[in-house]
Amino acid sequence: MARHRVPRIRSSEITPQAVWEGRREFLRLALGATAALAVPVAAGDVDATLATAFPGLVRTDLGAGLKPTAREVFTSYNNFVELGSGKEAPAENAHLLRLRPWAVRVDGECEAPGEIGIDDILGRFPQEERIYRFRCVEAWSAVVPWVGVPLRDFLARFKPTSKARYVAFQSVHDPKNLPGQRRPVLAWPYVEGLRIDEATHPLTLLATGCYGRPLPGQNGAPVRLVVPWKYGFKSAKSLVRISFVEQMPQTTWSKLQPDEYGFYANVNPSVDHPRWSQKRERRLGEGLLASRHPTAMYNGYETEVAGLYAGMDLARHY
Ligand code: MTE
């Protein structure tokens, strides 16, 4: 396949005023009360790690009122079956993930398919920090300061056609190095999907970092999806391919257990998992004995996303 060069961002395009006024207005309209006021980070406003990892990082006020989970906690309790089953295995085996060279292929129903290297994703798209709630289908949750690119800005570069009704995501496939992929625990590679309006919703993020640093391997380095109103399994890690498709794509967990994991997987406290309640959640870092917190519809992003599902039977399309 022809290698598609993503155009270099000219300095005139980075003029903060024009770019951010536009984005700010767009997010204000899209997000209502939680409007983002994106401001370029002032030089003195960042610690050394953050400045080195993401020069030019833009902080938004998305999630400004949320208290992030401790970094050590969020980065040591993971689901990443390619790196092993169990919550500690992914961090222990993270070094087995080969992070360079790394490229993401974008193909399917689009006018400009191609491949983009991770360093071009980091260098050519303004990186933003946003604090999101994160809710796993297993009923634990966290609050995470992510760094990344709004997925819609990334996808737009590849010019999806009107046939692109869905977007399919594929994670790394490297059974030689990744111990979990040498066993048929899941059908490899891990695949996920979103409707195009979900993929291009302003909250959907292509994450490259968390806690001001590049993503650790166990959290899906070097680039992953983050869809904060859906259960965590939708947020596929270590992406190598993104495809615009016409039909609803298959997804790993719904292939394995269709009665338990649907395509939509929107956080919904009133639709129980067949084997446990989804009404409450345990916050990582609070200990197993701490009282559980009520789970919010769409994980607290109802104002922003409920319109995407107007008229749908949410108990059937889980
Ligand atoms: N992506 C891949 N490729 N492999 C996985 O096993 N697990 C999913 C999701 N993305 C998974 C994945 C699940 S079940 C969850 S809850 C989140 O990643 C966990 O993300 P975290 O470890 O960063 O909290």
**Which domain does 293 fall in, by range?**
11-309
Q: Look up tokens 């977007």; give the residue.
A: 167
pLDDT tens string 77-112 = 999 999 999 999 999 999 999 999 999 999 999 999
In this predicted model, what pLDDT tens digit does every residue of 149-194 receive, in sequence order?
999 999 999 999 999 999 999 999 999 999 999 999 999 999 999 9
Q: Reply yes or no on whether the pLDDT at 33 is more than 90.
A: no
- What is the pLDDT at residue 16? 37
Count: domains in the chain: 1
pLDDT value, residue 44: 39
Instruction: Look at residue 315 and tell me if it is in a domain.
Output: no
Does the residue 4 lie in any domain?
no
| C-alpha 90 to ligand 1 mean position (Å) | 10
pLDDT at 50: 60
Contact 68, 143 (CB under 8 A): yes
Residues 34-90: tens digit of each pLDDT: 333 344 443 334 455 666 789 899 999 999 999 999 999 999 999 999 999 999 999
Cβ-proximal residues to 248 (8 Å cutoff; 6+ apart), any chain: 166, 193, 195, 263
- pTM for this entry: 0.87
Alpha carbons within 13 angstroms on the beta-carbon side of residue 174 total 13
According to DSSP, the β-strands at 128-135 and 58-59 are parallel
Of 48-57, 135-144, 263-272, give the lowest mean pLDDT range: 48-57
Ligand 1 centroid–CA 232 distance in Å is 6
Is 47 within the bounds of a domain?
Answer: yes
Mutate which of 206, 233, 281 for ligand 1? The one with the most ligand atoms within 8 Å of its CB, which is 233
CATH number assigned to the domain comprising residue 89: 3.90.420.10
Band (12; pLDDT cuts 50, 70, 90): very low
Domain membership of residue 75 (yes or no) is yes
Closest residue by Cα to atom 16, ligand 1, is: 232
3-state secondary structure of 33: helix
Residue 316 lies in a domain: no
Distance CA 173, CA 141 (A): 27
* Closest atom of ligand 1 to CA, residue 219: 23
In a domain, 149, yes or no: yes
User: Which atom of ligand 1 approaches the CA of 171 most closely?
Assistant: 3
Mean pLDDT, residues 250-264 taken together: 97
3-class DSSP state for residue 159? coil
230 confidence band (pLDDT: 50, 70, 90): very high
Give the integer Cα–Cα distance in Å for 127 and 225. 14
Which residue's CA lies nearest to atom 14 of ligand 1? Answer: 233
Proportion of the chain above pLDDT 90, given as a percent: 81
Residue type, 213: R
